[in-house]
Amino acid sequence: MDLFDKCKNFVVYKEIEQAGLYPYFQPISSEQGTEVIINGKKILMLGSNSYLGLTVHPKVKQAAINAIKKYGTGCAGSRFLNGTLDIHIELEEKLAKFTKKEKAVLFSTGFQANLGAIAGLVGKDDYVIIDKSDHASIVDGTKLSFGEVKRFLHNDMQSLEKVLQSIDIDAGKLIVVDGIYSMDGDIANLPEIIKLKKKYNARVMVDDAHAFGVIGENGSGTASHFNLIEDTDIIMGTFSKSFASLGGFIAADAYVIDYLKHFARSLIFSASITPASCAAVLASLEIMQSEPQLIEKLWANTNRMRNGLKSAGFDTLQSCTPIIPVLVGEDLKVLQYRKMLFEEGIFVNPVVSPAVPKNKALIRLSLMATHTFDQIDFAIEKITKVGKKLGVI
């Protein structure tokens, strides 16, 4: 056996490619607002995680340009050594204030924040308990930890309690959930999770990648949304969505952050976020807090889209956020749906197995505050037209 045999035998995508249905790695040759240019064609973007549309905001762009002028293009080292800038510290302090936690620490991506925090905190003899729909970076974080991993059924509190009952009450336990789930667009049942964490002597970490800029006071996330900030031990965020940049962070009690700063390997052994990335987040955070009408518009857009799709007969699952899944069925049909929508001028993300169970494949729409009602109505019309052609509705 040659190590590369698996690569040579990897034909699934080739077949899809030959059928002209391969949907991934599409190069965009413009900035990513509500419209993008792909293959020279203007396309309505319904697959971006930039929920507030800030990646193209003039103030955010200018902040990044100014930071490059002042600090250069990179930090050439880890936060631990030569890679800490004064604006990294400023951002950490502002994020701690925003999330109402004592301290925050930046990571180079959200993925690394989850790896570093989970592997750094969950040691031998500890347990980490995750929702079956948690993000891949949480799953990988548990694999890097030396603790024992337990899973519970998606947002199912009976299943979580059963898992907790099976663990020694005195053992260290970390429950990790997404605040808003990235495939289904539903919200974690944090009030019940907190009740269980208290009953069974556990700690709770919430991945708010998709919740910042979307729910909570001024978009400050799931714990704020449920008024459970104190009881939520660890809040994780990414900068690659509403914060219009790249990077991630963990916010928690000061002693937890101080510990992570010395035990999170993905922090210590990886370069810090660039000056431009950091400055873009600072500007986005400022806008998020000073322009609440953006979040209001995001929700108006979300409700218009979801209501439109529901009245056309689509199944949008349990979604109650700007992530709206549209159930289609077979993987192949989803790939055809995506392609036909693209030909109609609309970009959506296909979600096929194994990311979702077989025959539960879906197209996933993500709304932005900057979409216009006209764009949303256009999308509903096209999604309905193609859905009828493909027999989805």
Residues that bind ligand PMP (CB under 6 A): 109-111, 114, 135, 137, 178, 182, 207, 209-210, 238, 240, 248
What's the closest the beta carbon of residue 22 comes to ligand PMP, in angstroms? Answer: 21
State which residue, 140 or 291, has the beta carbon closest to ligand PMP.
140
What's the closest the beta carbon of residue 63 comes to ligand PMP, in angstroms? Answer: 19
What's the closest the beta carbon of residue 49 comes to ligand PMP, in angstroms? Answer: 7
State which residue, 49 or 336, has the beta carbon closest to ligand PMP.
49
What's the closest the beta carbon of residue 138 comes to ligand PMP, in angstroms? Answer: 7
Q: 182 an active-site residue?
A: yes
218 burial (CB, 10 Å; 0-12 / 13-18 / 19+) is: middle
| Main-chain dihedrals φ then ψ at residue 348, nearest 5 degrees | -130, 160
State which residue, 188 or 294, has the beta carbon closest to ligand PMP.
188
State which residue, 54 or 392, has the beta carbon closest to ligand PMP.
54
State which residue, 184 or 207, has the beta carbon closest to ligand PMP.
207
346 burial (CB, 10 Å; 0-12 / 13-18 / 19+) is: buried
| Residue 291, helix vs strand vs coil | coil
Distance from C-alpha of 118 to C-alpha of 136, rounded to nearest angstrom:
13
Q: Which residue do the tokens 């493909």 mark?
A: 390
Beta bridge partners of 206: 177, 235
Distance from C-alpha of 20 to C-alpha of 208, rounded to nearest angstrom:
36
As a dihedral over the C-alpha atoms of residue 252, residue 267, residue 143, residue 206, rounded to 10 degrees, the angle is 30
Could you tell me the strand order of the sheet in which 248-252 lies?
Answer: 103-107, 248-252, 234-238, 203-207, 173-178, 127-131, 148-152
Asked if 124 contacts 147 with a C-beta cutoff of 8 angstroms, the reply is: yes
What's the closest the beta carbon of residue 248 comes to ligand PMP, in angstroms? Answer: 5
6-23 CB burial, b ≥16 within 10 A, e <16: eeeeeeeeeebeeeebeb
State which residue, 300 or 317, has the beta carbon closest to ligand PMP.
317
DSSP assignment of 164-210 equals HHTS-TTS-EEEEEESB-TTT--B--HHHHHHHHHHTT-EEEEE-TT
Q: 210 an active-site residue?
A: yes
Residues recorded for the chain: 393
What's the closest the beta carbon of residue 364 comes to ligand PMP, in angstroms? Answer: 12
State which residue, 238 or 242, has the beta carbon closest to ligand PMP.
238
**Annotated catalytic residue: which of 57, 150, 241, 333?**
241
Q: 241 an active-site residue?
A: yes
Written as six digits, the tokens of 103 are 């301290």
State which residue, 138 or 380, has the beta carbon closest to ligand PMP.
138
Helix (H) or strand (E) holding 266, with range, is helix 265-268
What's the closest the beta carbon of residue 116 comes to ligand PMP, in angstroms? Answer: 12
**Annotated catalytic residue: which of 210, 225, 333, 360?**
210
**Annotated catalytic residue: which of 48, 137, 145, 182?**
182
What's the closest the beta carbon of residue 305 comes to ligand PMP, in angstroms? Answer: 20
- The residue nearest ligand PMP at its CB is 110
Distance from first CA to last CA of the chain, Å, rounded?
48
DSSP annotation of 156: -
Strand 234-238, strand 248-252: pairing: antiparallel
Catalytic residues: 182, 210, 241
